[in-house]
Structure 1
């Protein structure tokens, strides 16, 4: 399949475009950009710096991929943005390259759905099948697991972690880590329960969901210290990989505190 470049587009000499790539009117592709097979770049898109995009992606009008990080310490270092396969990137989406000081790479997985004006900041690590709704924002160094949904106009504070299958409600201000399978909303966001709708949509069986609900009640009960409840939950539900994913998430080293329930269960 031939590469198709609109006459008004500007593609730098060093850019690498695989078979079947299309570049629409007035788009700009920089010299260090690599684009995978069959990816479609529509009109007025800017892809710059060291940006790699996988196969079968679509990038819609006025998106900017690979822009410099919003970081006062950035002085033009050759950092990167790496985007996986089959991502749908809508109008005015921004994804930045990494900043110096870490590994300098912003990573986005496969099969994502990034709605208009959503933003992925520098050095974020975004998993597979992630949805960022309209205006959702990830601050720098945020880690987002697979199958996470961040609803419209929600913002995740830099260095926060959002575990797999979690759901962030609309307008939420997330300043603390969100457990896998959890659901948070509010300003500032608090843990509201499990993401039961998301688990059902992802075909988790009834026994797994029931186990998660029982573990959640024990983990966030009033009795004992939080550390005691963590240990008790691990002992009681050690046979359950999803529960242990939550326990391991809580026990891992973290830069931010944990989102907890706001009211009694």
Structure 2
């Protein structure tokens, strides 16, 4: 039997693994699921549609799979939040379920969503994403693996953030952010997240190639066109270089991609 505090409120059709732990006054609604070894702390709320993987921690006063903040959402829509194994959602954070039938808002493996952060409906976060306190992602935001979202960052709906990005505190993004870069201020970038690349033990030749491709893509003219021409010409030899270039042209519905700007433009 799972360790469930007697004051917890558990829906009849909730699925809780026998090795999970549920704290005092937690609410787990009908249809919610809790995986092996996961801890649901006191006063946490798992709404219908919450699917928590193995060895996760859902901290106090969180709300997982709450209704989307979408004026057109039909409450009868069946949708989900999926949190993969090993992820931690700290106190006061909110993650809303998807707006489309049988769709999911997804959080990858070993993510850390810190206190009072918000992840909107239909977002897809990769693995090992860290999201600091008081940051927020609007609906349909995509975030790649190993990205760090600093405190107070605001991500506009329907944008993409590539893998390995560092988003500086209080940044505001309404355009796509390519992989591996440092982003700051409002829709601005400044070179690569070298600390992150080195921590992930990316080869020196890949980092050198990324620097050359960055200069080429942002050297003048249209970055999308520059990236496509560089990719088609085979200038990217490493996986990192190919990933960087593909980001610029692989999504035809992109709202636009950030560019480096001077302090005077900021």
Pick which of 196-205 and 57-66 moved more: 196-205
Name 1:78's counterpart in structure 2: 78
State the SS of the aligned residue for 1:183: strand
Cα distance in 2 for residues equivalent to 1:87 and 1:216: 32
Q: Do structure 1's residue 113 and structure 2's residue 112 form an aligned pair?
A: yes
Distance 1:152 1:227, change over 3 A: closer
Instruction: Map Cα deviations across residues 64-123 of structure 1 (whole Å, 9 max, x no partner).
Output: 1010000011121111111110001101010000013x7632111110011101111000
Structure 1 residues 231 and 143, CA gap change in structure 2 (3 angstroms): closer
Corresponding residue for 1:193?
A: 191
Query: How many angstroms apart in 1 are the aligned matches of 2:139 and 2:256?
Result: 16
Aligned partner of 2:99 in structure 1 is 99
Residue correspondence of structure 1 range 52-67 to structure 2 within 5 A? 52-67=51-66
Residue 238 of structure 1: how far off its partner (Å): 2.8
Structure 1 228/119 Cα, relative in aligned 2: closer, same or farther at 3 Å? closer
Alpha-carbon distance between aligned partners in 2 of 1:12 and 1:216, rounded to the nearest angstrom: 52
Equivalent residue number for residue 200 of structure 2: 202
Comparing 80-89 with 201-210, greater Cα deviation is found at 201-210
1:229 and 2:207 matched: no
Deviation at 1:221, TM superposition (A): 1.0
Q: What's the CA shift for 1:202?
A: 1.2
Q: Who is 2:21 aligned against? A: 22
Q: For 2:230 and 2:201, how far apart are their aligned partners in 1?
A: 24
Give, in angstroms, the shift of residue 54 of structure 1.
Answer: 0.2
Distance 1:145 1:227, change over 3 A: closer
Q: Distance in 2 between matches of 1:5 and 1:38?
A: 13
Q: Distance in 1 between matches of 2:34 and 2:237?
A: 43
Kindly tell me: are residues 9 and 225 of structure 1, through their superposed partners in 2, closer, same or farther at Cα, counting changes over 3 Å? closer
> CA separation of 1:44/1:230 partners in 2, compared to 1, >3 Å: closer, same or farther?
same
Residue 219 of structure 1, aligned match among 217, 220, 235:
217
Q: With the length of structure 2 as denominator, give the TM-score of the two structures.
A: 0.93
Moved more, 138-147 or 247-256: 247-256
Q: CA deviation at 1:236?
A: 5.4
Structure 1: state its 5+ residue gaps: none
- SS of the equivalent of 1:198 reads helix
Aligned to 1:31: 30
Calculate the TM-score normalised by the size of structure 1.
0.94
TM superposition shift of 1:227: 4.8
Deviation sequence 1:112-159 (CA, Å, 0-9, x none): 011101111000011100000111111100011111111001011000
Instruction: Label 1:251 to 1:227 Cα distance change in 2 as closer, same or farther (>3 A).
Output: closer
Deviation at 1:167, TM superposition (A): 1.2
Cα displacement string for residues 176-195 of structure 1 (whole angstroms, at most 9, x for unaligned residues): 00001111110x22111111
How many angstroms apart in 1 are the aligned matches of 2:48 and 2:102?
16
Asked if residue 176 in structure 1 is aligned to residue 175 in structure 2, the reply is yes
Structure 1 segments, 4+ long, off by >3 Å, are 224-228
- Would the alpha carbon gap of residues 227 and 126 (structure 1) be closer, same or farther in structure 2, given more than 3 Å must change? closer
